[in-house]
Structure 1
Amino acid sequence: MSSIWFEQSFKLGNDEFHVIFTKTQEIDPQSGAIVKAHAQGVKVGAITYKQVDGQWQAVSRQPKFGDFGEWGDVPEVKQADILQLSPENIAFMIDAGGGMGGFFESGKALFAYSKNSWRDLGYIQTDADNSGACDEQSEQAPSDEGGSIPCWSYTGTISIVPGENAEYPDLLVTRTGTESGENGVSIVPAKNVTYVFNGEKYVDASKL
């Protein structure tokens, strides 16, 4: 089942554009209900218009260019933040995240527009915490006797780092706060992370 997700106007160079994002949800053939599993997202599509001689003209129609969401749906979006990757390439940044086992993370899903086409650039993690699994009274490394887990949390911001790829530059996530140490029972200052474009999506360079 396809429906409108959200729409937004934007500029690229001197040109004015307007995009309508759509979401296609999977339907259970037996019950006719939307499939609502944790890992079940939607297919994201887009119809893009460009203003030509004072009139809007459709320049691209992409029924399914990316995947996003969970539990069979996507979050409500009123206005996406825009990141200018290059003079001819922008990315819409959509809030994303989740949690499991007391650990939570959030960041941005990136949908980029260039050369009359949208593409899914993946997910950039910026924030995280273990607020659902830690001992609030233990903000330092726990004692051997206590066995408690210290609380940690960090937030981050995304910025561009010019590199070899002019169209899809590296993205630096500058993080402030603390994160878990390698032993899992201590905390250390949160480290900055760089995401690099691998030809399809952005990936955490530290995990390559």
Structure 2
Amino acid sequence: MTKKECSWGETSNSEEIANVHPNNSRFYDSEKPIRVDAKQNREKILEAALKIFTEKGMAIPIGEIAHKAGVGIGTVYRHFSSKEALLEAIYIIYKQQLTEDAKSLTNNSDPGKAFFDFFSNTMKDGFNNKALKDAFKSLTFTRTANAGVLQDFKSAFANLIAKAQQSKAVREDIGINDIITLMMGLLQAIDQRKGDLDISRFNKLISIVSDGLRYKE
């Protein structure tokens, strides 16, 4: 997904695009009007950071991100006070996209398949997304900056889970926090096993966890 501890009202299409776009006003520290060139620079920084963080994780110097974006280091720091602040902005974009994915599957004709596809695809995306794994390890998800985004995701994901439980596809004695904990555990396993865990073995882990989530008579 080029879309994000995996944040994890209805709007028009144009509003939905604005909500996940890197130059969304929610990412600006000031309420003052932002110059067009400043917005463009911020978008370049976010796009460069998304690519680099995804491939290499957050242990990357700001200078490399600035070079990739074609701006100076000072420009990066004018928009983001720290590397963590930049990663948090990336995380918010990612989580908003996950939220839209979950919402789009809520009314699927096969709620069980919709849930397990979402679960599996999110985990597979996390396997190759080093930024996502670092975000789970580094960010406190109760922070004010993330609270609304996280709640939106949990609401959409909870609806997806509820539909799957109502259709007898997912066991009824497990809740959203249990499932998010399992997802976090899978992502952390990638880091702990380092090069010892390839995608085929990771898919096996996803399958094992999925089987444990399925409804049983």
Regarding TM over 0.5, the answer is no
Work out which of the two has the higher radius of gyration on C-alpha atoms and give 1 or 2. Answer: 1
Which of structures 1 and 2 has the larger relative contact order (alpha carbons within 8 angstroms, sep 6+)? 2
More strand by share: 1
**Structure-2-length-normalised TM-score:** 0.25
TM-score (norm: length of structure 1): 0.25
